Chain A
Amino acid sequence: MIRKIRKYEGWFGATGAVCIAVGLYFGLAASPPDSYQGEVVRIMYVHVPFASTSMTAYGVLTVASLWYLWKRDPLIDNLAHASAGIGVFFTSGALYTGSIWGKPTWNTWWTWDARLVSFTILLLILIGYLMLRTFIEDKERESRYAAILAIVGAVDLPIVHFSVEWWRTLHQPLSISQRGVAIAGVMLYPLILMSVGFYLLFTYMVGVRTQMLYLKQLLEAKKGRLLGEVHL
């Protein structure tokens, strides 16, 4: 398994880089400015991929955590760990670019909107997850507790989202949803390109990080700090 990741990860990284480069060209130069938001809208091409990738990161973390509790495979735990770490990067990116976009359009850096609050909670849970892992010595227990936290968070996040939505909301509705696409084609293509690029980048980063965590664990096992259970 780890060899397979090693073999294909380069392709993911390279294709992702090409997609992002072409997407940036179309998004920043070739596509027209928005009729309401003007040039400011161009941050969408980075913000939306950041946001959707961070949700995917939490999705991967949840599935991997459930899988770990079921099968107890250390490599799956490394995948969950990697996904959480990379998720922190993408979630902070989404919050950061969203804040920059919010200033010219809503005239505020920050507001207590449903999506903003749920992304902040998402970030806090991910950071809590990584912190929890550093505070447990026993490797098996660390994986188990982290998986439990990830699953509780996965159940909690939709409830957080809906409760804050009832509370107050300002965010513009999603442009691409089940109700259809409310976005012009010439702006949609760079957005799709960027999203695909971000997903590939995410896959590449998670692949590399999973390997790193796995090899680190292997090294510790060979040094004799960890007994048993690790196998190539």
Chain B
Amino acid sequence: MNFFNVIRWLAWKDLLSELRSRENISSMFFFALIVILIFSFSFSMDQQTAKELMPGIMWVAFVFTGIIGLGKSFTAELQNDCLENLQMNPIPRGAIYLGKLASNLLFMLIVEVILFPLFVIFFNLDVFEKLPLFVLILTTGTLGVSAVGTLFSAMTVQIRAREVMLPILLLPLIVPVMIGAVEATGGVLRSEPISLYRQWIELLIIFDVIFTIVSFWLFEFILDH
């Protein structure tokens, strides 16, 4: 099977099983909703503070739900020795990585797209003119999290204490994504000129490019006998 077909089939397979079970996306969605609610109870917010805190709350909710989704991404492959089968197949390892990355990215983006209108309602945001910028920041930020996350998800699925180890390994490494995404989102929300936060979007893009390549290369060593 050629490289791009592997990516397409893997992502399609994940999407199909998700469409049938709806396990992943629904659990991610409700978890994120609870995180948002907890945050709004923890800080008593008026209109002004809500605008300041909202980017941070949004990205914490997105990253936490992302970790839930990423954690499940490879556990599904443990049933019926699917992971063993993937390893034994004569297909490029990098294609497995990209296929899994595609489905993880897709699941996270779907949840974020459902959640985003809720943020707009809860925090009374005015976003409609700046929607393309939000889409750009959401996509680049989420790609950064899932590029590193997919690699670590494949790694932690085969060890003990995997639920704990994934966030412990992943969260420190995605600090640049968190800073970049929160600053850029804040900049857009405060209606600043784009020159003030363009560097953060560039940081996200650089992070995405570097870590997709590095993880693509290192994935070779994860599924290795």
Contact = CB atoms under 8 A, between A and B. Distances in A.
Given A125-B173, A149-B152, 16 more contacts: A69-B221, A128-B172, A132-B159, A132-B165, A132-B169, A135-B160, A135-B165, A137-B160, A149-B155, A149-B169, A151-B218, A152-B211, A152-B214, A152-B215, A156-B176, A163-B176
B106 to A, nearest CB: 23
Interface of A: 69, 117, 121, 124-125, 128, 131-132, 135-137, 141, 144-145, 147-149, 151-153, 155-156, 159-160, 163-164, 166-167
- For chain A, what secondary structure do more than half of its interface residues adopt (helix, strand, loop), or is it mixed? helix
A228 to B, nearest CB: 14
Given A144-B224, A149-B169, A155 B175 contact: no
B179 interface: yes
Interface string B133-172: 0000000000000001001100100111100010011001
B112 interface: no
Nearest to B175: A160
A8 to B, nearest CB: 32
Interface in B20-51: none
Given A69-B221, A152-B151, A155-B214, A141 B176 contact: no
Contact of A147 (B165, B175, B221): B221
Contacts of A151: 214, 218
A117 to B, nearest CB: 7
B189 interface: no
B22 to A, nearest CB: 31
B74 interface: no
Contacts of B168: 128, 131
Interface of B: 148, 151-152, 155, 158-161, 165, 168-169, 172-173, 175-176, 179-180, 183, 199, 203, 206-207, 210-211, 214-215, 218, 221-222, 224
A145 B159 contact: yes
5 contacts: A69-B221, A131-B168, A135-B160, A137-B160, A152-B215
Nearest to B206: A159
Nearest to A133: B159
B113 to A, nearest CB: 26
Contacts of B152: 149
Nearest to A144: B221
Contacts of B161: 135
- Of all A-B residue pairs in the complex, the 7 with the closest CB atoms, nearest first, are A163-B176, A124-B172, A135-B160, A135-B159, A159-B176, A156-B173, A136-B159
A159 B158 contact: no
Given A145-B159, A148-B151, A155-B211, A125 B179 contact: no
B155 A145 contact: yes
B173 A148 contact: no
B184 to A, nearest CB: 12
A168 to B, nearest CB: 10
A152 B218 contact: yes
A135 to B, nearest CB: 5
Contact of B218 (A121, A124, A148, A156): A148
Contacts of A145: 155, 159, 222
A121 B151 contact: no
